[in-house]
Amino acid sequence: MKIRTTMLVAGLATGVGITAAQAQSCELKIGAMGPMSGGAAQWGLAMYSATELAAAEVNAQGGLKMGAKTCKVVVVPYDSKYTADAAAAGSNALAAQDIKLIVGPVGSPEATGIKPVAARNEQLAWNASYAKNALETKYPLMFHIAPGPSAWADAVIKKAKTVFPMKSVVLIAPNDQGGTDIASVDAEAYKANGVTATEEYYQRGTTNFAPIVTRVLALKPDVVDTASSPPGDAGVIVKQLRLAGFTGAIGRLGGPGTDEIVRVSGGLDVLQNFYWFETVATADPKVQEIDALYKKLLGKDPVGGTAMWADLPAARMTLKAVSMAGTDDAKAVAVALRAMPVEDPNMGKGYWTGKKAFGIAQELHFPFGIGIIKDGKNLGVERQEAHRD
Amino acid sequence: MEQFLQAGIIGVSLGAQYALLALGFTLIFGILGVVNFSHGGFYMLGGYVAFACVEHLGLPYPLAVLAAILVTAALGWVFELLLIERLVDDHLATLMLTLGLYLVMSTVMLQVFGPLAMDFRFPVTGALRAGPIYAPLENLIVLAICLMAILGLWLVLFRTDLGRGLRALADDRQVAMAQGLRPRILFPAAFALATGLAGLTGALVTPILSLSPGVADPVLATSFLTVILGGLGSLGGAALAAFIVGIVEAYTSVYFGGSIGALVLFVLVLLLLVFRPQGLLGREARGA
């Protein structure tokens, strides 16, 4: 009897093993691209963490159903270094591994670099850049993770003005597309709100901002905005501004990275007065659950802060679209994506936007937030609802 | 006028930091004839060693700086002895070796410490102020240490047997060897001296600016630019050029903006290469 029971258990175990093996009879590789080293590393690692989490979710349920097969999802990261050439090279490197779906890249130079190459490789990609041409009708396989400053700068400035009265602002950003495309839109939004705006650009790779800080302070601005400067750069700018005696508020109408700015600048005591655009409504408990979910499924803490939360819906929707399309062919996945409602278990409901700004409605727009630090105290992030085009 | 004085203070401060980096870079080229592409890596490593000593071992910052010098010097010594020494006359091979070392160093730092900037702060903060003019205390301390290090290096090179030996090898290796000088001992010593200087600079400067695996790239570019301006292999030229670079960078950035500042520096080097290819104080060809 005992032997028979043992055999039965062994047989069942073997059966379960076979079922699990059959459940993941194939492997689907998807790319995660962004700067994973240098001053903007946080943004690229966020992209990677988000894609890892989306993959872990489907793998935990036995794999991703793709037609008659059920596949294990494997994430292949690529460090595109915030440059156009590295992103283009990344598209080719991932294509060489037969990867047709890419979550990323992040920055405007990267988006510019990857678009034509990914189109040639017939890859679907999601860029998170705030470039004025983040989407183009001639690249229908390119999707956009979140809207640029034209969609939210006005709301952030209006809120900031109620806390930090301002008449003039200087915007500091890198002198490439990753800086100029954002700072110029931010500047227009400040002007529309009655604030005199001056743009100051620096060479990407600058490590010591003391001369630029001296130049900025000569303009005697009420506020300095670090726009889309990488968080590492923005932290040094803040530190040197405060050391030079600047006591006004510091704004950030650009990419996420408040945690790193606080750390590099020397803490909340140094930062003092700060307002920022937050890509997601971080105060929402459902949104905050993402980190715990990541830790539960992957056994480690995610990297990337709130940027990871913002990137997650794109990764999840891509995998869902693969299931709906029954293939990882980029064109079929794009068709499935366009037909899907914008909805995420953590972010809630959003909209497909982009028609007005780019002529193509392939941009996710979820609720976002406005954060305020006043007198060294973090007052939290206020939720702002998403709106249709 | 305030802006002019402030730019001058920033320029001198930048110049001192660049001088420490450029002296090490040019020392290796002048004595060994090796263009050391891992120089920025030793700067980064110095920062991380100091950070680890303060954060994980609880050492006081001055001891952490000392540890950074010793670790980077020891690594430089071992690297020269085991790898560079075998191929020291093959310029392409040494270039690839040093580039490879840099990639290994940055990847190891990335794996160990992660890609984000560390919370590494200089122990002294504040500034001396005279109206709108200010001089950060941390920069003044770094400036003083840099000047002492430059003086120390000068004393080593011009007032000791080790320095005489190194200079003799730089002037004419064959004649120096015929007179009994031993490159197998002196070359690693020169490499260690140079990488120790880079480690010192990293330990001093990264807590003032930032510390992440990406900090090495701009450092290498600045060192290269400075030594080309000063004359490859010329110690005096490197020191002079470092202060010129610092001051030009400060004034052009303050008066014309960050983009123009970087452009002016490269135009300056370009013009110099056209009209004086050997650099400010360089010789027309290396003797070694």
The answer to whether the CB atoms of A215 and B212 lie below 8 A apart is no
- Does B255 sit within 8 Å of A202, measured CB to CB? no
Nearest Cα residue to A132 out of A114, A158, A112: A112
User: Mean pLDDT across the stretch A173-199?
Assistant: 94
The model's pLDDT over A211-221, given as tens digits with 9 standing for 90+, comes to 999 999 999 99
- CB neighbours of B174 closer than 8 A, spacing ≥ 6? none
Instruction: Look at residue A123 in the predicted model and tell me its pLDDT.
Output: 98
Q: Which residue has the tokens 């002294």?
A: B124
Chain A CB contacts of B255 under 8 Å are 215
Rounded Cα–Cα distance for residues B98 and B79 (Å) = 9
Strand, helix or coil at A285?
A: helix
Confidence at residue B87, expressed as pLDDT on a 0 to 100 scale: 86
Residues B45 and B109: beta-carbon distance below 8 Å = yes
Q: Which residues of B touch A303 (CB under 8 A)?
A: 114-116
In the predicted model, what is the mean pLDDT of chain A?
A: 91
- A302 CB near a chain B CB, below 8 Å? no
Q: What percent of chain A has pLDDT over 70?
A: 94
Cross-chain Cβ contact A175/B259 below 8 Å? yes
Report yes or no: A336 and A321 within 8 Å, Cβ to Cβ.
yes
**Contact at 8 Å (CB) between A224 and A215?**
no
Interval B2-12 mean pLDDT: 91
Residues B214 and A206 sit within 8 Å (Cβ to Cβ): no
Chains A–B, number of C-beta pairs less than 8 Å apart: 111
> Measured between beta carbons, which residues in chain A are less than 8 angstroms from residue B262?
203, 206
Question: Could you tell me how far CA B62 lies from the centroid of its own chain?
Answer: 19
Give the model's confidence band at B170: pLDDT under 50 very low, under 70 low, under 90 confident, else very high.
confident
Contact across the interface for A214 and B212, Cβ inside 8 Å: no
Res. A10: pLDDT tops 60: no
pLDDT at A39: 66
pLDDT at B214: 80
Interface contact A38-B212, CB threshold 8 A: yes
Query: CA B63 → CA A81, A297, B69, B70, B283, distances in Å?
Result: 35, 42, 10, 10, 39
CA angle at A348 for the pair A343 and A351, rounded to the nearest 5°? 50
Q: Is B115 within 8 Å of A245 when comparing Cβ atoms?
A: no
Residue A18 pLDDT:
46
**Looking at residues A152-181, what average pLDDT do you find?**
94
Taking an 8 Å cut-off on Cβ atoms, the answer to whether B253 and A212 are in contact is: yes
- b/e per residue A109-123 (b: at least 16 CB within 10 A): bbbbbbbebbbebeb
For residue range A44-73, what is the model confidence (pLDDT) as tens digits?
Answer: 999 999 999 999 999 999 999 999 999 999
Among the listed residues A296, A283, A267, A289, the one whose alpha carbon sits nearest the alpha carbon of residue A371: A283
pLDDT per position as a tens digit, B210-245? 898 888 888 888 888 888 888 877 888 888 999 999
- Res A215: pLDDT: 94
Which helix (H) or strand (E) segment is B54 a member of?
Answer: helix B39-55
* pLDDT for position B278: 85
For residue B243, what are its two tokens? 């202060």
Q: What is the structure's pLDDT at B3? A: 87
Kindly state whether A261 is in contact with chain B, defined as any CB-CB distance less than 8 angstroms. no
What is the tens place of the pLDDT at every residue in B144-166? 998 898 899 889 988 999 999 98
Taking CA atoms, A366 is separated from A284, B44, B184, in Å, by: 12, 40, 65
Residue A314: pLDDT over 80: yes
The arithmetic mean of pLDDT across residues B63-86, rounded, is 94
pLDDT of A304 above 90: no
Closest CA to A275 of A303, A296, A293, A248: A248
Cα dihedral B75/B103/B226/B248 (nearest 10): -120
Q: In terms of CA atoms, which chain B residue is nearest residue A242?
A: B126
Q: How confident is the model at residue A19 (pLDDT cuts 50, 70, 90)?
A: very low
Identify the structural domains of chain A with CATH numbers, from first to last: 6-146+283-349 (3.40.50.2300), 149-278+370-384 (3.40.50.2300)
What does the pLDDT average to over A234-248? 94
pLDDT in tens, B245-261: 999 989 999 999 888 87
Q: What is the pLDDT of residue B265?
A: 82
Task: Give the residue-averaged pLDDT of A78-102.
Answer: 96
- For B106-140, write each residue's pLDDT tens digit: 889 988 998 788 889 899 988 898 888 889 999 89
Q: What is the arithmetic mean of pLDDT over A17-30?
A: 67
Distance from C-alpha of A86 to C-alpha of A110, rounded to nearest angstrom: 7
Q: Identify any residues that bridge with B128 across adjacent strands, giving them in sequence order.
A: B135
Asked if B13 has any chain A CB less than 8 Å from its own CB, the reply is yes
Are A309 and A346 in contact, with CB atoms under 8 Å apart? yes
In a mutational test of the A interface, the residue from B204, B209, B263 whose CB has the highest number of chain A CBs within 10 Å is B209
A388 backbone dihedrals φ, ψ, rounded to 5°: -70, 165
CA pair distance B187, B193, nearest whole angstrom: 10
d(CA B94, CA B98): 6
- Cis ω on the peptide bond leading into residue A105 (within 30° of 0)? yes
Reported for B111-115, long-range contacts at CB under 8 A and 24+ positions apart, including other chains, are B112/B48, B113/B48, B113/B51, B113/B213, B114/A303, B115/A36, B115/A37, B115/A38, B115/A41, B115/A42, B115/A45, B115/A303, B115/B212, B115/B213, B115/B214
- Contact of A48 with chain B, judged by CB distance below 8 Å, is answered with no
Cα-Cα-Cα-Cα torsion A244, A248, A249, A255, nearest 10 degrees, comes to -40
* Nearest-by-CA chain A residue for B18: A208
Contact A203 B259 (CB under 8 A): yes
Instruction: Please tell me which of the candidates B10, B255, B258 has its beta carbon nearest to residue A200.
Output: B258
What single letter denotes the amino acid at residue A323? Answer: S
Mean pLDDT calculated for residue range B61-88: 94
Whether B170 has its CB under 8 Å from any CB of chain A: the answer is: no
Q: Which amino acid is at B151?
A: L
From the list A342, A349, A344, A346, the residue with the least C-alpha distance to A287 is: A346
A 189-218: CB under 8 A from B: 200-203, 205-208, 210-212, 214-215, 218
Q: Enter the tokens of residue A119.
A: 């189109």
Please name the helix (run of DSSP H) or strand (run of DSSP E) that holds residue B78, with its range, or none: helix B61-82
Q: Tally the C-alpha atoms within 13 A of residue B175's C-alpha that lie toward its C-beta.
A: 7
Is the per-residue pLDDT at A186 higher than 60?
Answer: yes
State the pTM of this model. Answer: 0.83
B123 touches chain A (CB under 8 A): no
Q: Which of A208, A212, A233, A265 to mutate to test the interface with B (most CBs of B within 10 A)?
A: A208
d(CA A321, CA A335): 8
Determine the Cα–Cα distance for residues B146 and B127; give it in Å rounded to an integer.
18
Name which of B113, B274, B280, B118 is nearest B206 in CA terms.
B118
Q: Is B220 on the interface with A (CB under 8 A)?
A: no
The ipTM estimated for the assembled molecules is 0.83
Q: State yes or no: pLDDT of A163 exceeds 70.
A: yes
Nearest to B218 among A207, A218, A245 (CB): A207
Measure in Å the smallest separation between the Cα of A103 and chain B Cα atoms.
20
Angle at CA A34, nearest 5°, toward A31 and A39? 155
Q: Which of A141-145, A150-154, B96-100 has the highest mean pLDDT?
A: A141-145
- Mean pLDDT score, A358-376: 95
pLDDT at A137 over 50: yes
The tokens for A184 are 């110029």
Query: What is the structure's pLDDT at A24?
Result: 59
pLDDT bin (cut points 50, 70, 90) of residue B281 is confident
Q: For A246-300, what is each residue's pLDDT tens digit?
A: 999 999 999 888 988 999 999 999 999 999 999 999 889 999 999 999 999 999 9
- Range of lowest pLDDT (A268-272, A317-321, B16-20): B16-20
Q: Which residues pair with A169 in a beta bridge?
A: A197, A223
Span A320-335, mean pLDDT?
97
Residue A170 has pLDDT above 70, yes or no: yes
Residue A14: per-residue pLDDT: 47
Q: Is residue A146 scored above 70 in pLDDT?
A: yes
- pLDDT recorded at residue A38: 73
Query: Is A41–B212 a contact, with Cβ atoms under 8 angstroms apart?
Result: yes
Most confident of A316-325, B32-41, B186-195: A316-325
